Chain A
């Protein structure tokens, strides 16, 4: 992922990093819930108990 970093300010880099982590985290949480749901299972089983 090298090559373009030098063109960005540190603030922008941090913003991009946090933003991408939030997007990916949201996507994977949804994926976990969906993949369990289609099997008829409860992804949040532990938290509901």
Chain B
């Protein structure tokens, strides 16, 4: 009876704690609701009041038109300042301020992405652990989720420190611009700060309460906290995105940059949602890559087979999650680019056909390398399984397809040439290779690459299994038919694109993407159903994988990091000489676009800096109280993500 009372008391306290917690989390939102950016009473009230009620000396409310939404609103903010090159607007050291800001921004972004992504993994894995019936397996999942959050905890402190450095860099080097931005986003920035406090609190309770909330109902409270944690994290990211989206595609202000009193218009600019989706998916892929690299590092330094087995498994799960988000990432990027074109065609042309086009070629190389590495890791991973040999013979054909598509994917449209070279070649485009530098060919290439990656995964799924369901021959035949016709369709659409006008051709990307996604969803789902109750040809022997595969994981993580740095630079530099596009001009001496070489060096520096510091974080993580990995006896049930076999 006494035990029951104690349990009941615990439950009540858990509910109270959760309620107080939720209240605290919602508090900033309530606080921000009544206040407009001006901090005054809503201005429209003044215009709707009868004229007689206004004091005689009251000035009429000036109204102006929103640059994007085209709605009228009361002018409640000052115009965007017209800056001049000097210590008032651009105080500086004997160094390019923009480069300092670049480093501070990029480092904060890397860590911010990481600490936003990892709790999402924790939530998923902890939940899988709860619903898994096998106790040993459930403990393994729980341990893995704990390992993930342990890594992110130290990184979280660094994120906050880097955020402070970024803020001071803005205040000291770009005070006028930052003053303008904060005058518009005042309530958003306050909410952001309060949410940051809430997230810190939630994260610490989530981490330190892990052991106390290990069993029963409290475990559900614990996993609920991870949901709250991720909701706050996502809202934080979206608020920060609203600032950069405003700088690129301003709204909620008039053509002079005067705030018109509608904070939702300022937040919800035309590029906000595409950036939100792209960043969320990108963060997940990046987070998966970093955790996989951590696991690879621990695998390579492991002293025992048990440790090696644990970190091999951890690396696989992290890679799996990362790749799950890598596959839709190009589509989210495509949507973002489409919206950029829709917002300002010139901006799209600068990005993909002008000044920054060569950076997209570098991006293509990175994306191709990511997919090649992923396939390589999966093929290496098949070494863990007896029975996988029967698929080895197909790998060489897949390599051929991937490399061919990779070459098409990175072929530039035009080349930088001397007049003599131009004359020798007969024009800007090579007579043969030039045909592969267009979007028709590239769309076909990348969709073929992704479809082949899906095929590799399906092969991996069934490497040590033989389907036993009665309809297996039919299922196999359908899988073969699906993939064969998918390849035919993707290549057909790519060729078809050469024979139809541009306005129709641009639409072909949608059926191509739909074809690839069909293979992903139908193929993987069908394969998973077929493998229910399948005959094992041998267990997955975790830890028995080549060292090369672990370097592949590190390569994946580095490629993600480099690509993030590159794409961030591209998105930011497309504003050219504007702080806020077409609203506030950048009059500093650095309002020019850097050379590709300089940008590449800066990105590499940022990547190196991040990896050096994250290694320090990994090392710090290993200093803490060590929880011995749960032993994974050879031949046990394979602990793989739910969607896998």
Chain A residues with a Cβ under 8 A of chain B = 1-5, 7-8, 12-13, 16-17, 19-25, 27-28, 31-32, 35-36, 38-39, 41-43, 45-46
Contacts and interface: CB of A to CB of B under 8 A. Distances in A.
Given A24-B484, A27-B485, A46-B496, 15 more contacts: A3-B476, A4-B472, A4-B473, A8-B473, A16-B474, A20-B480, A21-B485, A22-B481, A24-B478, A28-B488, A28-B489, A35-B510, A41-B503, A45-B500, A46-B499
B504 interface: yes
Given A24-B482, A25-B485, A35-B511, A16 B477 contact: yes
B455 to A, nearest CB: 11
Contact of B486 (A4, A28, A35, A39): A28
Contacts of B507: 35-36, 39, 41
B493 interface: yes
Interface residues of B, number: 33
Contacts of B499: 46
A24 B484 CA distance: 9
A49 to B, nearest CB: 9
Contacts of A22: 481
Given A31-B515, A35-B511, A21 B484 contact: yes
Given A17-B480, A46-B499, A3 B510 contact: no
A41 B510 CA distance: 11
Contacts of A17: 477, 480-481
Nearest to A41: B507
Contacts of B488: 25, 28
Contacts of B479: 1
B417 interface: no
Nearest 8 Cβ contacts at the A-B interface: A20-B481, A16-B477, A24-B485, A35-B511, A3-B466, A1-B476, A41-B507, A28-B489
B510 A36 contact: yes
B514 interface: yes
Given A3-B467, A32-B493, A24 B481 contact: yes
Interface string B485-515: 1101100010010011101100110110011
Of A3, A5, A35, chain B has the most CB atoms within 10 Å of the CB of: A3
Nearest to A6: B473
Nearest to A17: B477
A21 to B, nearest CB: 5
12 contacts: A1-B476, A2-B391, A8-B473, A12-B473, A17-B481, A20-B477, A24-B486, A28-B485, A31-B511, A31-B518, A38-B510, A41-B504
B390 interface: yes
Nearest to A2: B390
Contacts of A16: 473-474, 477
A25 B484 CA distance: 9
A10 to B, nearest CB: 13
A20 B511 CA distance: 20
Contacts of B511: 31-32, 35-36, 43
Given A7-B473, A35-B511, A46 B481 contact: no
Contacts of A36: 504, 507-508, 510-511
A45 B488 CA distance: 19
Contacts of A41: 503-504, 507
Contacts of A24: 478, 481-482, 484-486
A2 B459 CA distance: 10
Nearest to B466: A3
Nearest to A42: B504
A14 to B, nearest CB: 10
B482 A20 contact: yes
Nearest to B478: A20
B413 to A, nearest CB: 23
A39 B338 CA distance: 13
A39 B473 contact: no
Interface in B443-478: 466-467, 472-474, 476-478
Contacts of A42: 504
Given A16-B473, A32-B511, A41-B504, A1 B485 contact: no
Contact of B472 (A3, A13, A38): A3
A23 B515 contact: no
Contact of A31 (B467, B501, B514): B514
Nearest to A25: B485
B465 to A, nearest CB: 8
B485 to A, nearest CB: 4
Nearest to B483: A24
